[in-house]
Amino acid sequence: MKTAVIVFPGSNCDRDAHDALLKVTGKAPAMVWHKDGTIPEGTDLVMVPGGFSYGDYLRCGAMAGNSPVISQLKDHAARGGYVLGVCNGFQILCETGLLPGALMRNASLHFVCRPQALTVETANTAFTSAYQGRSDVVIPIAHHDGNYFADSATLDRIEGEGHVAFRYAPGQNPNGASRDIAGILSDNGRILGMMPHPERAIGASEGGDDGLGVFESLLSAA
Amino acid sequence: MTDTTAILAHLQAVQDEAAGLEHGIKQDEWGRLVGRLERRPNLVELGIYSVMWSEHCSYKSSRRHLSKFPTKGPRVIQGPGENAGVIDIDDGQAAIFKMESHNHPSYIEPYQGAATGVGGILRDVFTMGARPIALVNALRFGSPDHPKTRSLVAGVVAGIGGYGNCVGVPTVAGETQFDEGYNGNILVNAMAVGLADQDKIFYARGATPGNPIFYVGSKTGRDGIHGATMASAEFSEGDEEKRPTVQVGDPFTEKLLIEACLELMATDAIQAIQDMGAAGLTSSSVEMAASGGENGEGIGVMMDLDKVPQREEGMTAYEIMLSESQERMLMVLYPDKIDIAKAVFDKYDLSAEVIGETTDTGRLVLTQFGETVCDIPVAPLAEDAPNYDRPWNEPPKRAPFDISKYPEPEDYGDVLLKLMSCPDMASKRWVWEQYDRHVMGDTMDSSQSGGDAAIVRIHGTNKALAICSDCNPHYVAADPYEGGKAVVAEAYRNLSAVGAEPIAITDNLNFGNPEKPNTMGYIVKAIEGMAEACRDLCFPVVSGNVSLYNETDGVAIPPTPVVGGVGLIKDLSKTATLKGAQPGDTLIVIGQTNGALGASLYARTVLGLKGDALGAPPPVDLAEEVRIGGFIRSLIQSGLVNAVHDVSEGGIACAAAEMALASGCGVTLVPDREPGDQRAEPGLFGEDQGRYLIAASEEQRREWESKGFMPATLGKFGGDSVVLETGWGVEGATFTVPLATLRAAHEGWLPAYMGAVD
């Protein structure tokens, strides 16, 4: 699998994304600088990493969503390429319109970093197939704006079409997200945005290893 | 339009002694200044002298005492005197770290004060070529009942998180305490730890004449220009408006600055580098000049202030030199590398300008609008700063604490609950869940497990650093010498408890007004106690910061010399934490229990005592600390423990309760004394130093015994309660606290206090 990681000014999970992709695919991803970088031809997966692009001084992800590299990202998505947006990356994907909805400030108004119990809603996707037979996982979160919101019609549609990939475990919603949504898929199932950080849960650290499944699923899909 | 003639006249006006006083230059210091300069200074020069000779920059009250600290050791590469300390962590790698206070700004404006504290300490570390890999914070607030405390906690925590989370450096450890002694002066001490290759360490020293001086980062604004007395220096006649003196942080720019500096450092473009911290462009340029030259003989600096990137119009040389705008760096480049440097900073859209050059004159020469506004020798600024031997009084000795004066508690279970939920001991989850602890992917253990020290892997290796911060100000107040020893010894224990070799510390000495002999006595004795511990434990000081004048209305804070400790774990498979206890494990205490309750949490929280009534603190036997610390590390190395925890505040009972909470496995404590003997509080809650609790399986214990170790057993892990047995078969002498109840009390206090129960 050929992968790339977009790096915005203020991205700070780009190295973690790099390391996770290297660990699972055995090949280092291309690191693509937002200003003048190029997503290499033949890339299967583009990861939009977490962090604070442009400081999140404007609405989270709004600046990055208009960055020069985004047109290449959209082209990649239009070709049916895989895209994984984590945390700030999820926010950016919503800002670009590649995913529906928006991420608002956490209901508590506080930044929250904790090991988060999740429910894998479906193992029938390119991002979650490795979780077959295993619906409860713990993946760390770390965000200030993870409160997923969309209007009811959109939420009904996403749910109806099986495009909710992850939910916060019952009673453990950390940010007030609508219907406990932690991660959603695009209509074609090839774009996943999620607030939890699978790249921080690839083994041998406090984050555990429950995030590996996301990358392993992609490896077998691509 | 800027009236340059008027500005220049204002800047070049010769100053008198009264103006010196307004700048905090005392009478005798004025005489010294004029004597060395052989004339009176103009306004710019006076401003520069005043900041360079300030307590903050010159350490004039503490310098002669700080020299008592041991600063060398087999692993010390750079001790105090540079931006941060540097230690050897094998394989050609170095850890670079420092702790620094941002107390006063955080009290005035908690969010920005704390945020810029984090930003400043990060710059100290990456200035030296290190990628920051961990942040730690030691926070002290006033009484929870004080009307300002809640908002200060909220603001400081949000500020630390807002900055640290954004720059993408994990905040892995820290401490948060409350005491009415901090009602008027909170303490915000931030520590950063970075990682560098030993052959890629950058210093402020070593710049040679004839090279370009390069300014990078944010533009210079009027923020942080020093304080209240300075209104007359603003150049709008009759305008008494005072700018706020707290700087505003921009963590996004800091993140870019980190990446840009590290990228440039990978080339051979930089000869010397210094961040612009306190006193901004003044201290950075003066320090680089003073330590310049091939042999440190000092060089000169010439800067054209019109070239300094400025955020506001009409700034004067005075303002530019004294601005404390954040996220700025000053470098001396090799002349043929300017284009390379500019390209790197252009990539990150950061300001970067050549603003002057190094010279061989030994003078600091500044021009603005084409005229010289400052021309003074560098050496007196740095070397001739005052160095006071402040008078000090021997701190009074307190009588030993006598528990027999106080009634024995009726219900030890209630006591345990009270201690575990009191403000100092209660879980600080509300705080650390607001900090990103996992970014960079190398956090092995953090505040999350409530352990003694955080463990952060060296990226791409099987090594790790153990990092902790410690201070028990109640011990220092009770006896600064023994208390100073205890501060260092606790850091040593915390690192040993996770299996790390303690290497070095950074210190952050927070005290009141050094001009008061009683306060100065605590400063002197605490430093001497700490220094003795550092020597005996081979645990040198490699960097640090002194924060004095933490006083409001004549009342000083409790003496609070905080240390940040760093240790090396050579093999990540050989560590321990407090959370590994298994049902059936034996609870073992290593170290001597005498039942010292002086200055203890029990005496403060349960008996409600204050001041002298708290008695003397537990003494520290440094030789025992070394012996037992080494023993603990060897047990961890040999895999003969399931969990280890240092015994500190709240004694054995609280330490065991913390182990039980962390592992989710209950524990029963049996009395460690003769039947019918004495009372139970000293054994359960005494704070004798040099002790560790261990959980070991039967198999591990057999190994111990086969090696001849027959330690005292204190109880057994198992069940779902903490059980305190306080007598031998005595009716009613067993107290049971279910773990769920204990956890609710321990976790509940802070969120309830902050009104933020999820």
Per residue, the 3-state secondary structure of B263-293, as one string, reads HHHCCCCEEEEEECCCCHHHHHHHHHHHCCC
Say if B159 is an interface residue toward chain A (CB within 8 Å).
Answer: no
Supply the pTM of this predicted model.
0.95
- SS3 category, B220: strand
Nearest by CB to B442, from A50, A111, A205: name it.
A205
The Cα–Cα gap between A181 and A140 comes to 15
Residues of chain A found within 8 Å of residue B133, distances taken between Cβ atoms: none
Which pLDDT score, from 0 to 100, does residue B642 have?
97
DSSP secondary structure code for residue B401 in this structure: P
Question: For the segment B243-263, what is each residue's pLDDT rounded down to a tens digit?
Answer: 456 788 999 999 999 999 999
Question: For the segment A53-94, what is each residue's pLDDT rounded down to a tens digit?
Answer: 999 999 999 999 999 999 999 999 999 999 999 999 999 999
Residues of chain A found within 8 Å of residue B166, distances taken between Cβ atoms: 10, 12, 52, 55-56
Nearest by CB to B165, from A9, A111, A197: name it.
A111
Nearest by CB to A108, from B253, B437, B756: name it.
B756
Does residue A18 contact residue A5 with C-beta atoms inside 8 Å? yes
**What tokens appear for B295 in the block?**
């042999």
Q: Do B441 and A199 touch (CB under 8 A)?
A: yes
- Give the mean pLDDT of A111-118: 98
Q: Out of A13, A18, A34, A87, which one is annotated catalytic?
A: A87
pLDDT classification of A179: cutoffs 50, 70, 90: very high
Report the DSSP beta bridge partners of residue A148: A103
DSSP secondary structure code for residue B448 in this structure: G
pLDDT classification of B731: cutoffs 50, 70, 90: low
- Give the mean pLDDT of A147-171: 98
C-alpha A191: how far from chain center: 8
Using only C-alpha atoms, what is the Rg of chain B?
A: 27
Rounded to 5°, the CA angle B472-B478-B479 comes to 95
Q: Give the DSSP H/E element, type plus range, for residue B380.
A: helix B378-382
The Cα–Cα gap between B205 and B212 comes to 15
Question: For the segment B574-591, what is each residue's pLDDT rounded down to a tens digit?
Answer: 999 999 999 999 999 999
The Cα–Cα gap between B230 and B228 comes to 5
Mutation test of the interface with chain A: which of B133, B156, B171, B439, choosing the one with the most A Cβ atoms within 10 A? B439
Which pLDDT score, from 0 to 100, does residue B233 have?
32
For the cut 70, the answer to whether the pLDDT of residue B231 exceeds it is no
Residues of chain B found within 8 Å of residue A144, distances taken between Cβ atoms: 165
Q: Phi and psi dihedrals of B538, rounded to 5?
A: 50, 55
Report the DSSP beta bridge partners of residue A143: A112
CA-nearest of B382, B417, B315 to B58 is: B382
pLDDT classification of B504: cutoffs 50, 70, 90: very high
Question: How close is the nearest chain A Cα to the Cα of B586, in Å?
Answer: 26
- Residue B156: how many other CB atoms lie within 10 Å: 27
**What tokens appear for B699 in the block?**
């198999």
Q: Do A54 and B349 touch (CB under 8 A)?
A: no
Question: For the segment B104-162, what is each residue's pLDDT rounded down to a tens digit?
Answer: 889 989 999 999 999 999 999 999 999 999 999 999 999 999 999 999 999 999 999 99
For the cut 70, the answer to whether the pLDDT of residue B732 exceeds it is no
Question: For the segment B508-567, what is each residue's pLDDT rounded down to a tens digit?
Answer: 999 999 999 999 999 999 999 999 999 999 999 999 999 999 998 889 999 999 999 999
Q: Give the DSSP H/E element, type plus range, for residue B126.
A: helix B110-126
Q: In what order do the strands lie in the sheet with B76-78?
A: B76-78, B85-88, B93-101, B187-197, B131-141, B171-178
Which pLDDT score, from 0 to 100, does residue B236 have?
39
For the cut 50, the answer to whether the pLDDT of residue B239 exceeds it is no
Q: In what order do the strands lie in the sheet with B712-717?
A: B643-646, B692-696, B586-590, B712-717, B667-669, B721-725, B734-738
Say what angle helices A212-221 and A14-25 make with each other, to 10 degrees: 60
Rounded to 5°, the CA angle B340-B344-B350 comes to 130
Does residue A181 contact residue B421 with C-beta atoms inside 8 Å? no
Known active-site residue A199: yes
Helices (H) and strands (E) in chain A, counts: 5, 11
Known active-site residue A95: no
- Give the mean pLDDT of B377-381: 89
pLDDT classification of B227: cutoffs 50, 70, 90: very low
Rounded to 5°, the CA angle B414-B416-B419 comes to 110
Question: For the segment B410-419, what is each residue's pLDDT rounded down to a tens digit?
Answer: 999 999 999 9
Question: How close is the nearest chain A Cα to the Cα of B215, in Å?
Answer: 20
pLDDT, averaged across chain B:
93
Q: Do A113 and B437 touch (CB under 8 A)?
A: yes
Which pLDDT score, from 0 to 100, does residue B235 have?
34
Q: Out of B10, B23, B102, B226, which one is annotated catalytic?
A: B102
For the cut 60, the answer to whether the pLDDT of residue B267 exceeds it is yes
Q: Do A115 and B448 touch (CB under 8 A)?
A: yes
Query: What torsion do the CA atoms of B615, B415, B495, B527 make, to the nearest 10 degrees?
Result: -20
Question: For the segment B648-675, what is each residue's pLDDT rounded down to a tens digit?
Answer: 999 999 999 999 999 999 999 987 666 5
What's the longest Cα–Cα distance across chain A?
44
For the cut 80, the answer to whether the pLDDT of residue B224 exceeds it is no
Residues of chain A found within 8 Å of residue B250, distances taken between Cβ atoms: 55
ipTM associated with this complex: 0.97
Say if B757 is an interface residue toward chain A (CB within 8 Å).
Answer: no
pLDDT classification of A222: cutoffs 50, 70, 90: confident
Does residue B527 contact residue B520 with C-beta atoms inside 8 Å? no
Query: What torsion do the CA atoms of B269, B271, B275, B278 make, to the nearest 10 degrees?
Result: -160
Which pLDDT score, from 0 to 100, does residue B279 have?
83
For residue A139, what is the nearest residue in chain B, using CA coordinates? Answer: B438
The Cα–Cα gap between B432 and B748 comes to 15
Say if B438 is an interface residue toward chain A (CB within 8 Å).
Answer: yes
CA-nearest of B435, B166, B171, B252 to A110 is: B435
Residues of chain B found within 8 Å of residue A116, distances taken between Cβ atoms: none
Residues of chain A found within 8 Å of residue B758, distances taken between Cβ atoms: 108
- The bridge status of strand A3-7 relative to strand A30-33 is parallel
Q: Do B434 and A112 touch (CB under 8 A)?
A: yes
